[in-house]
């Protein structure tokens, strides 16, 4: 980051987990497109990475000042010499995905525990948001991930095999959730798109996607406060604006077709954490769930005596006390 100066924009690079259509990171795209960053005298570059892990690694390597990625990826791949990146701003409680069962299994699979021994399809392999969320839901249901035969498909292929009953269930995001539910080619078993539902299926309130600052750096807190003010406006805009209004300012790679964008937007609106705040308890629950899914690398140093030391909360607090003028 560069310091603020008279007549100068502070330059900030943020590595953002892809693909560009990922709805949990939409507030950053909106804040840039609507000019909220520029109004805060910030020159923000969004560096779209292929995956959450890629965004975390870009942060660790110093290729970005901050990363918008999952807590899992940030702690496993975004640490610097074992020091986890501080969490600046919480985005979503969970990845906005759902577990759908096929029409052939809708009367026999009515709870996550009943997925034991049943083939489940994923759009991609291990480490995807869908895989992470499936693992978390199964653990809360006392099922080990290895007890569920997993099959990897493209998103289009997964829609087909699930509809035909070639897999018992599939984990997917919108627009597939909405389309399959409306067409009765898939039936929602577990829905993580709302904070309240995510807490039910995961067993606690959690944070999934967030904005992290590179460990070991001393960022200008004025810049971070300005950045957070812009993000707060971005989240509000995402949760309140019509799809058409957002599409009028966002680039096509971020939105895709209107019907798909509307489904992704509707699906993620109730997943965002109120005012971007992450409490010690939410962070602790999220870390414990991540460790239950898979142990962190031995090098990662977690300060068990103080969860708050993993939170960079002062900029958000100042932004909430002095919000941006509208």
**Burial letters 107-124, b for 16+ CB under 10 A, else e:** eebeebebbeebbbbbbb
Q: Cα–Cα–Cα angle for 246, 247, 249, nearest 5°?
A: 75
Check: CB of residue 85 under 8 Å from CB of residue 74.
Answer: yes
Of 125, 130, 208, 203, the C-alpha closest to 169 is: 130
How far apart, in whole angstroms, are the C-alpha atoms of residue 22 and residue 25? 6
| pLDDT range class, residue 4, cuts 50, 70, 90 | very low
106: three-class secondary structure by DSSP:
coil
What kind of fold does domain 97-191 have according to CATH?
D-Maltodextrin-Binding Protein; domain 2 (3.40.190)
Ramachandran area for residue 190 (φ above 0: left; ψ -120 to 50: alpha; else beta): beta
**Domain segments of the chain: what residues?**
10-94+206-321, 97-191
Cis peptide before 175 (omega within 30 of 0): yes
Ramachandran area for residue 272 (φ above 0: left; ψ -120 to 50: alpha; else beta): beta
pLDDT in tens, 271-307: 999 999 999 999 999 999 999 999 999 999 888 767 7
C-alpha dihedral, 286 to 70 to 80 to 77, nearest 10°: 100
Cis peptide before 184 (omega within 30 of 0): no
pLDDT in tens, 193-230: 999 999 999 999 999 999 999 998 888 889 999 999 99
How far apart, in whole angstroms, are the C-alpha atoms of residue 213 and residue 59? 8
Using CA atoms, how far residue 303 sits from 65, 105, 238, in Å, is 23, 45, 34
Mean pLDDT score, 237-265: 96
How far apart, in whole angstroms, are the C-alpha atoms of residue 76 and residue 72? 6
| pLDDT range class, residue 326, cuts 50, 70, 90 | low
Do 97-191 and 10-94+206-321 fall under one CATH topology?
yes
**Share of residues in the chain with pLDDT > 90 (%):** 88
**Average pLDDT of every residue of the chain:** 93
Query: What is the reported pLDDT for 5?
Result: 41
Architecture of domain 10-94+206-321: 3-Layer(aba) Sandwich (3.40)
User: Which segments within 108-267 are labelled E, that is strand?
Assistant: 120-123, 150-153, 169-173, 187-191, 209-213
């Amino acid at each position: 980051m560069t310091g603020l100066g008279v007549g100068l924009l502070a330059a900030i690079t943020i590595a953002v987990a892809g693909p560009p259509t990922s709805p949990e990171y939409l507030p950053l795209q909106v804040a840039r497109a609507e000019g909220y960053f520029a109004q805060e005298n910030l020159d923000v570059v969004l560096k779209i990475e292929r995956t959450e892990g890629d965004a975390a690694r870009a942060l660790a390597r110093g290729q970005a000042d901050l990363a918008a990625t999952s807590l899992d990826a940030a702690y496993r791949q975004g640490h610097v010499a074992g020091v986890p990146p501080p969490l600046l701003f919480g985005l979503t409680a969970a990845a906005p995905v759902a577990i759908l069962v096929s029409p052939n299994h809708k009367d026999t699979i009515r709870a996550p525990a009943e997925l034991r021994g049943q083939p489940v399809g994923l759009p991609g392999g291990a480490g995807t948001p869908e895989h992470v969320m499936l693992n978390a839901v199964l653990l809360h249901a006392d099922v080990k991930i290895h007890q569920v035969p997993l099959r990897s498909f493209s998103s289009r292929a997964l829609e087909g095999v699930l509809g035909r009953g070639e897999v018992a269930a599939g984990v997917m995001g919108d627009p597939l959730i909405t389309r399959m539910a409306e067409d009765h080619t898939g039936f929602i078993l577990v829905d993580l798109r709302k904070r309240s539902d995510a807490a039910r299926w995961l067993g606690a309130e959690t944070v999934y996607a967030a904005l992290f600052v590179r460990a070991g750096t001393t960022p200008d807190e004025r810049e971070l406060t300005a950045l957070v003010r812009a993000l707060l406006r971005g989240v509000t805009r995402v949760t309140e604006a019509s799809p058409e209004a957002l599409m009028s300012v966002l680039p096509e790679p971020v939105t895709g077709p209107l019907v798909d964008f509307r489904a992704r937007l509707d699906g993620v609106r109730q997943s965002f954490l109120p005012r971007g705040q992450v409490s010690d308890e939410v962070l602790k629950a999220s870390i414990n769930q991540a460790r239950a899914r898979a142990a962190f690398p031995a090098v990662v140093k977690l300060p068990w005596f103080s969860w708050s030391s993993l939170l960079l909360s002062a900029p958000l607090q100042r932004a909430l006390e002095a919000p941006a003028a509208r």
